[in-house]
Structure 1
Amino acid sequence: MEENKNMKSFISDAVDCKGGPADRTTTGGWVSAALILGIEVSERLSTMGIFVNLVTYLIHTMHLPSATSSNIVTNAVGTAFLLSLLGGIIADSFLGRYWTITASALIHALGTCMLAISAAPKLRPPPCDPSSSGVCGEASKMQMTMFYIAVYTIAVGIGGIKSSVPGFGTDQFDQKDEKEKDEMAQFFSRYYLIISIGTLLAVTVIVYIQDHVGRTWGYGICAASMFLAVFAFLVGTKRYRYKKCVSSPIIQILQVIVAAIRKRKAELPSDDSFLFEKSSPETSIPHTDQYSWLDKGAIISSRERGPDGSTIRNPWRLCTVTKVEEVKMLIKIMPIFATTFLFWTIHAQMLGYSVAQCFTLNRSIRSFDIPPASFNAFYIGSIVINLTLYDRIIVPFWKQSSKGAQGFTNLQEIGMGLFFATLGMAVASLVEMRRLYIVRVTRDPTTTLPMNAFFLVPQFILVGIGGTFMYTGQLNFFITQSPKGMKALGTGLFLTTTALGFFGSSILVTVVKKVTGTHGWLTPNINNSRLDCFYALLAVLGSIDLGLYMICAGRYKAHPVENADKPNSGKV
């Protein structure tokens, strides 16, 4: 009896820090999850505190043009999210999540320290000389080189942290235990809440310190918080549950494609039961007819038959039906992937041009001047409020009035995210038209304009509402519709849409500058630009993208296995 009780306390698919079976009474749970979330709090505090206020630093301290400054920020953020895909592969296949988080957090802290040093007065260009008609000397190549090294070191750290923290946090809960399964569901909501709290602190407290105390102090506090979070994380080493590394999903995808190409001339059997399958009924995935050319990778040819009739398996020539179907599932979600990253291109404007707009307007409340970057608090606040209203009021009401319906499906949430983001850009264009009219009336583009910065709040709120639906809809869709053995890749695809959106912003800015010319829509000084036309262009592109997305979402059919598990995930 005592032996059976002890056996139940061990978790079959997790180990402790020494490599032995993990004991649920001494490992995992909320204490472990809280220590892991500490890394995420610090990452959000540092990352958002730095990047949300970086455009104003580049324009007014490093004396770079507004379009160049915006592109520098979007490229750095895009690189960080793109590296999350690589970080997930490294964590799942080589280092493990614990060591990936530890190394990435230290790299992030190191980059933040370097940025704090680069912000010292002697390592940045001198202030503008009022006697030189407002002409300012741009940062030197050496100053920009040190800046780039610091920022992209931070980006490497972000990639490793964001790819591993959610997975390592959920590793602390056993899905086979009903109590811990419920706790894991709570972990996701608390994880998103932690992101929002960290971001709110970043765009208010950290930004205020940067603008009123000094950049070096602001960045130094970010670095110190990360070092403290790493120390707390390492203290919990003995309490964590660890999962063993698995084979790379990228290798599996390549194996299926190579095997199908090698047998491209083979005839598919009329009965799919003749295709190769050795997975157990519990883990196998039923065969589907879509993308049938991939099925050729599961054909057993004479080269895979041994002398005794047994199957000789080379994964680069013969794959199971389950492996083939997993690749099919990834291909099916690609149209959704391709039509959702424009939202993040719009989101990038909240960190770039919208902050630059705030800088030109009256931001005073009595004697207090609100930092321009702190207007992103309205973006984050709208996310928190909308998420709370949706979870606490709308979904419970929906369940009662619609016989247990769970609320909007993931695809519907993504569509709503695109709609609100597009609406936000349309409103932003109208507000910018008003701001440019005041610029023309005052005839002095160098002074603070007699227009209240709170006129910009609606565009922050609308894009923030869109962010609520897009973030939760995309993340849940890519995780639930990805194969069970490729959940990390699903998370990576979600983060990659963010990266492509930020890179798309940089490309769009570059194209618009070349097409409209030196004195066109995006000039070095936004008071001489036509930012209203740029926002209108984004609204038009958003409308087109929304239409394409609705077509793709309408044609999407969830895989039978995944659809059974998540009935709302693949419906429009």
Structure 2
Amino acid sequence: MNVLQELPEAIIGMIRDFGDKNSVKTTILENHSCEDFFSFFFERHGRVRGYGAGVTPTKLWGSSSSRMYDLEKRLQEFEQKRLESEHKRIEADAELKGEVKHLKSMLEQQAIQMVEQRRHFEEQQASQMAEQRAHYDNMMMQMFSYITSQSAQSRKEGKMNSFVPDAVDHKGNHADRTKTGGWLSAIQILGIEICERFATMAIIVNLVTYLVGTMHLPSASASNFASTSGGTAYLLSLFGGIVADSFLGRYWMIAIAATIHAGGTCLLAISTSLPNLRPPPCNPTLSNKCVEANSLQMGIFTMALYLTNIGVGGIKSSVAGLGTDQFDQNDDKEKAQMAHFFSRFYFVISSGTLLAVTVLVYLQDQVGRSWAYGICSASMTLALLVFLLGTKRYRYKQRLGTPIVQILQVIVAAVKKRKVAYPSNDSALYEDLSQESRIYHTDKFRCLDKAAIITSKDSGIPNPWKLCTVTKVEKVKMLVKLLPIWATTIIFWTIHTQLAGFSVQQAATMDRSIGKFQIPPASLYAFFVVSIMTTLAIYDRLIMPLMKKYKRSQGLTNLQKVGLGLLFSILGMTAAALVEKRRLSVVRANRGTMTRSTTLPISAFFLLPQFILVGIGEAFILSGELAFFTNNAPKGMKAIATGLYLTTTSFGMYLSTILVTIIRNVTGRNGGHDWLSPRINDGRLDYFYWFLALLSLINLGFYIVCAIRFRPNSIENSPKMNGVVVDTPPKEETV
């Protein structure tokens, strides 16, 4: 800073005035600082700062010495003030430095405190995290249950993870939907079913002709043998379901059963190829003298056949369940795919049946049964290999205990407490609150609720044979509710059995030629299969889209499908009775010229209406009944429900055997006219068909009543239970 910027205006004015009068240049004011100026000024014009004696202001400045003195005085005062100001500034700087030092010290202390607080906070956090991790394993199951209950909302928000909640892979880890399940896995599983159906139907539809034509059994005996064998195969499916749900699991059940099935068909091929294992051909000169198969021949053939039946029972009990396990019901996309699975499943069954009754039946009649059965064994072996290759891609459902034991526990506990009074409040019934999945209490079949009543004898750890949870009781109730529908569908399979028995025998006596080509009698069953496939295709591609468009529904309910199936079976038996009446009239017209092998002058194509009508009925029964049992079965008992469905076929075949035996004993008593005589041309099969049609009509009335009264467990009526998954089947409309 220069002098002009440092000195007051009054002093600067005096200096300028002094300089003007004494010719002193004042440009130094602009070019030097105040300190330099005073040094220069007093050294040149004053007597201070060491100037010699005799040099006075008057000599130097003349008459202006007084003013110079005044200027000097003022400058000295200013200098004094400036020095005092500088001293104060120095003191202020020292004080400021002290304050800064004090503030710095305070900041350092605060920083130390903050570091200490942060260390303490981190130690607290580490301690809390350690405590949380100690409880982490116990919380995982609760978190998994919560995720499952919130899966619907998570899908809407796009936050659904890639794991299937209730399925695992082959290593037991949670199944990744991107790497497991889906249609590819389902197709590999369906390969087993198509080969099983391929072999089984080739055996069943042509079994009567083999027993009558080669083993020389009477017509009714051959029919009973065939129906009993088929009934046993389907009955074994119930036991297969129990073993699958309880011990082996569906995957291992299918693998073992397919191996047994392949071995059984291989033994059948050997049995039918060796001449010593079948009786000699009939003597053409003695039409009524044929040697029946002996006990050894029938024993080996029966053993091979029932070995195959064991395989059928194991496969059928689990293949549909394992197939549906490949689709997640909690995922909208996979749920839509599973809706089409049953239609595809029955299409595969029908495709295998069609190949069996055309290609294999022709090979049996024209080439040899041993070749046909050998092909069955080879195809099943190939399908088994393809099935095993998909092991890593399958989804597996964990077994939830032994269901048959659970059922027995509820029954035994309810019987033991049959005299115990019901509690006034249902909440007093025993329930295991630690279960992830529970079923709410219902009022039906209250006699079973006694298994869940807590008495004074039930202290301590509950004995499952004396005290059962409400969930376990409700599972048994859900199975019991299926029994009326189950019972009223048995008669359909009795009618179905006739197509592979008496209807094939009818065809064997009729004209089956198309030009020079002779159709095998059992191949008429192909029209039955085609009618099933056509009906399923029309319903899936035409009827369902129309109903969705105009009625805003997903199509017919499962119970409505079953009702339609029963109605068409009645129409089929009516058509069969009318055709058989006409066939017998042709028999009577040609009685004098007929021999054992005579072909009647009536086309076998008159039998098509009964095959087609019953086939349409079976299409609705197949797609409705299995879906009904599977959807309404409790969790963990799906394979038993599938086996329960298959036992309708079994009991239908057994019922056919019983009815045939009763009809023969009643109508053939005391020399009467046996409706089902050893030779079909001598009986009144049309009466038997009318009898089945009447029974079916009465059964249809009972079915309608049961279907109307059936009510599935509805989740809307369940109580609110926080954090608990309520296990209920999907709601379905009733008829």
Please report the TM-score for the alignment, with normalisation by the length of structure 1.
Answer: 0.93
**CA apart distance, 1:547:** 1.6
Aligned with 1:103 (options 244, 252, 256): 256
The reply to whether residue 128 of structure 1 matches residue 289 of structure 2 is: no
The AA in structure 1 aligned to 2:446 is S
Q: Which residue of 2 aligns with 1:297?
A: 451
Q: Which residue of 2 aligns with 1:496?
A: 647
Q: Which has the larger radius of gyration?
A: 2
Q: Which residue of 2 aligns with 1:451?
A: 602
The AA in structure 2 aligned to 1:288 is T
Q: Which residue of 2 aligns with 1:413?
A: 561
1:480 and 1:562 in contact (8 A); partners too = no
Distance 1:476 1:96 in 2: 20
Structure 1 residues 284 and 472 mapped into 2: Cα distance closer, same or farther (>3 Å)? same
Distance 1:480 1:25 in 2: 25
SS of 2:636's equivalent?
helix
Q: Which residue of 2 aligns with 1:398?
A: 547
Structure 1 residues 207 and 254 mapped into 2: Cα distance closer, same or farther (>3 Å)? same
1:285 and 1:561 in contact (8 A); partners too = no
Q: Which residue of 1 aligns with 2:637?
A: 486
1:439 and 1:445 in contact (8 A); partners too = no
Q: Which residue of 1 aligns with 2:413?
A: 259
The reply to whether residue 367 of structure 1 matches residue 516 of structure 2 is: yes
Distance 1:28 1:286 in 2: 31
2:453 and 2:467 in contact (8 A); partners too = yes
The AA in structure 1 aligned to 2:233 is A
The reply to whether residue 473 of structure 1 matches residue 627 of structure 2 is: no
The reply to whether residue 439 of structure 1 matches residue 582 of structure 2 is: no
SS of 1:484's equivalent?
coil
The reply to whether residue 211 of structure 1 matches residue 211 of structure 2 is: no
Structure 1 residues 234 and 285 mapped into 2: Cα distance closer, same or farther (>3 Å)? closer
The AA in structure 2 aligned to 1:568 is E
What are the equivalent positions in structure 2 for 1:39-54 lying under 5 Å apart? Answer: 39-54=192-207
Q: Which residue of 2 aligns with 1:356?
A: 505
Structure 1 residues 280 and 340 mapped into 2: Cα distance closer, same or farther (>3 Å)? farther
Distance 1:428 1:69 in 2: 20
Structure 1 residues 535 and 258 mapped into 2: Cα distance closer, same or farther (>3 Å)? same
The reply to whether residue 274 of structure 1 matches residue 428 of structure 2 is: yes
Distance 1:262 1:135 in 2: 61
2:167 and 2:396 in contact (8 A); partners too = yes
Give the fraction of aligned pairs with identical amino acids, expressed as a percent. Answer: 60
The reply to whether residue 544 of structure 1 matches residue 693 of structure 2 is: no
Greater CA drift, 130-139 or 223-232: 130-139
Distance 1:535 1:236 in 2: 46
Deviations 1:234-274 (A, max 9, x none): 22223333333331222111111222222222221211112
What are the equivalent positions in structure 2 for 1:72-111 lying under 5 Å apart? Answer: 72-111=225-264
Greater CA drift, 67-76 or 548-557: 548-557
SS of 1:524's equivalent?
coil
Q: Which residue of 1 aligns with 2:338?
A: 184
Aligned length: 561
What are the equivalent positions in structure 2 for 1:13-32 lying under 5 Å apart? Answer: 13-32=166-185
SS of 1:132's equivalent?
coil
Deviations 1:21-79 (A, max 9, x none): 43444333333222211111110110111111111111111111111111111111100
Unaligned runs of 5+ in 1: 1-6, 307-311
1:279 and 1:322 in contact (8 A); partners too = no
Please report the TM-score for the alignment, with normalisation by the length of structure 2.
Answer: 0.73
SS of 2:628's equivalent?
helix
Structure 1 residues 561 and 490 mapped into 2: Cα distance closer, same or farther (>3 Å)? farther
Distance 1:367 1:427 in 2: 28
**CA apart distance, 1:468:** 1.3
Q: Which residue of 1 aligns with 2:85?
A: none
Greater CA drift, 67-76 or 540-549: 540-549
1:128 and 1:137 in contact (8 A); partners too = yes
Structure 1 residues 269 and 107 mapped into 2: Cα distance closer, same or farther (>3 Å)? same
The reply to whether residue 385 of structure 1 matches residue 534 of structure 2 is: yes
The AA in structure 2 aligned to 1:406 is Q
Deviations 1:101-144 (A, max 9, x none): 11111111111111111112512112211122442111121111
Q: Which residue of 1 aligns with 2:104?
A: none
Distance 1:12 1:289 in 2: 31
Q: Which residue of 2 aligns with 1:4?
A: none
Q: Which residue of 1 aligns with 2:708?
A: 554
Larger RCO (CA under 8 A, 6+ residues apart): 1
**CA apart distance, 1:506:** 0.6
Distance 1:395 1:178 in 2: 19
Structure 1 residues 279 and 416 mapped into 2: Cα distance closer, same or farther (>3 Å)? farther
Structure 1 residues 14 and 378 mapped into 2: Cα distance closer, same or farther (>3 Å)? same
**CA apart distance, 1:377:** 1.0
**CA apart distance, 1:279:** 4.7
Distance 1:305 1:394 in 2: 58
Alignment RMSD: 2.2
1:415 and 1:549 in contact (8 A); partners too = yes
Distance 2:173 2:650 in 1: 38
Structure 1 residues 22 and 314 mapped into 2: Cα distance closer, same or farther (>3 Å)? same
Unaligned runs of 5+ in 2: 1-159, 718-727
